[in-house]
Amino acid sequence: MKKCKFLFSLFVLPLVFACGGNKTEVEEPVKESDKESRKEDYLAPEISDKPIVDYNLWKIENGKFYLDGKWVFLKVGKPLINFANAGQVDKLISNLDVLRKKHFNAIELNCYWHHFDENGDGIPDKSLAPLNKLINAIYAKGMYPCLSVETYAVGGGTIPEGFWTLHPDAYAINERGEKVTDTEYGFGSKVVSIFHPGYRNTAHTFIKSLAKGIDTKKILYFETTVEPQYMGTIALCYSDAAKREYEKWRETNNINDEESKMPFSFPIPPSFIQNPTWNKFRAQFLAKWVNEDAAAYREIAGKNAYVAVDYLDANEKEQYLRMGDPVEFLTHLTAPNIIQVNWSWYFPDNKPNQKAYDRVWQVKEAAERDWAITEHMTFNGSDYVAFPDQKLESILENTLKQGTRFGWEFVNVNNATNDNFSLYHDNWSPKRVMKFVDQYWGYWMHRVKMIEDQVKSK
């Protein structure tokens, strides 16, 4: 899971104090009309003692999730733990009722490849029994289990060390001909080339092995690797595997101009790094990687299994480095049912990330895709702590108006006061950012319905 380090200006809001000496201020009574508009006056939906969860009755269509024909807005919690660790899993199971009382109705389990597979051959070395136990427990509590994998090594994920023994030539290579590590997010992990067939085949083996070991019918949706991208601060990839795939693509598409031909020697010049043909290829191959991961899930879970994909649209200056051409990437993204936008808020300018949503909607409408449009990490524990409540409200309102009102995703849903990525304190009281969601849940469900009605009336 990406614990991103965003660099943006912090806006210091002036504090205004009313100074009246010893004078006693008389509060004016709150009008009834004002009372009706307060967030705390909207009651949250009742939590059923016997919630119905039946995978035969759920469906994702028209941008929303339905249970037995009824639209349900999802409140997705992502706890970041080791799901191969029985002790950590049992602790989470013991807290499922706490999460349910906070109106979480879906729990997504983000499985790190290296937690399950030490020798890197794609076959789990650790038992899947704890993961299966957790999936069954979530389902039994009346919540919807979701499953994601982290098989890349940028922004927090790690490739199993044994993989590099099996595939020492699978490194991503930068424009200087050097092996790449994750210096962008600061984790220092070895970065793999997505063009390397040994990597893709092994990652698919892991996905299929994981799916074979669980009850896939109980999984509402599967998610491909978190935030699929190349990198934003390092030009990738110029490995031998990348060269081979690029030449095959050029031949298939009858492209033979000299300007778009990959140079044979390092360093790679900026003119090629920014070449539109090269970046079109990179975008298409990034989509191919994601589509193949989705196909690996569906090979085991069935062709109708729902799949979610993150769409990372961050700093515009770096976007071509991350994915070549964003619209080209989205256009060739044929597998997903759910697109999870990240960033939903454009941190450098402190405003909605309009370009991200515009690109997703452009492709959705042009290609007539039945996508649910939502967010990856609507809120997490670290990126929004500097924002006042008024700005948090703007961010949430923006997601409801720009997406299809599929749901919200919160990371890290764990009780850890000293973990800056966690949204809850040790005693499960919400930290400030999450408190703005939890304590006004009734109001937010009211806003979901109001905005949906407004969209339908247009």
Least trusted range by pLDDT, from 44-53, 355-364, 429-438: 44-53
User: Does the residue 130 lie in any domain?
Assistant: yes
| pTM given for the model | 0.92
**Count of beta carbons in the 10 Å neighbourhood of residue 232:** 19
User: Does the residue 76 lie in any domain?
Assistant: yes
The helix (run of H) or strand (run of E) holding residue 345 is: strand 345-346
pLDDT at 29: 39
pLDDT at 35: 43
Instruction: Provide the number of structural domains found in the chain.
Output: 1
Rounded to the nearest integer, the mean pLDDT of the chain is 93
Task: Give 364-370's long-range contacts (Cβ < 8 A, gap of 24+).
Answer: 364/339, 366/331, 367/331, 370/61, 370/62, 370/63, 370/337
Range of the domain at 257: 71-457
* Tens digits of residue pLDDT in 229-287: 999 999 999 999 999 999 999 999 999 999 999 999 999 999 999 999 999 999 999 99
User: Does the residue 159 lie in any domain?
Assistant: yes
pLDDT at 402: 98
User: Does the residue 138 lie in any domain?
Assistant: yes
pLDDT at 30: 38
Distance between CA 340 and CA 413 in Å, rounded?
18
Segment 207-224 shows an average pLDDT of 98
- Are the CB atoms for 214 and 300 separated by under 8 Å? no
Q: Is the pLDDT of residue 33 over 50?
A: no
Distance between CA 208 and CA 123 in Å, rounded?
9
User: Does the residue 185 lie in any domain?
Assistant: yes
User: Does the residue 396 lie in any domain?
Assistant: yes
- Are the CB atoms for 313 and 347 separated by under 8 Å? no
8-state DSSP, 348: T
CATH number at residue 416: 3.20.20.80
- Are the CB atoms for 151 and 113 separated by under 8 Å? yes
pLDDT confidence band for 52 (50 / 70 / 90): confident
pLDDT confidence band for 6 (50 / 70 / 90): very low
Q: Is the pLDDT of residue 34 over 90?
A: no
Segment 163-167 shows an average pLDDT of 98
- Are the CB atoms for 242 and 331 separated by under 8 Å? no
pLDDT at 156: 81
pLDDT at 3: 53
351-371 CB burial, b ≥16 within 10 A, e <16: ebbeebbebbbebbeeeebeb
* Helix, strand, coil shares, percent, the chain, to 5: 40, 15, 50
pLDDT at 49: 87
* Tens digits of residue pLDDT in 120-151: 999 999 999 999 999 999 999 999 999 999 99
* Tens digits of residue pLDDT in 103-121: 999 999 999 999 999 999 9
pLDDT at 24: 31
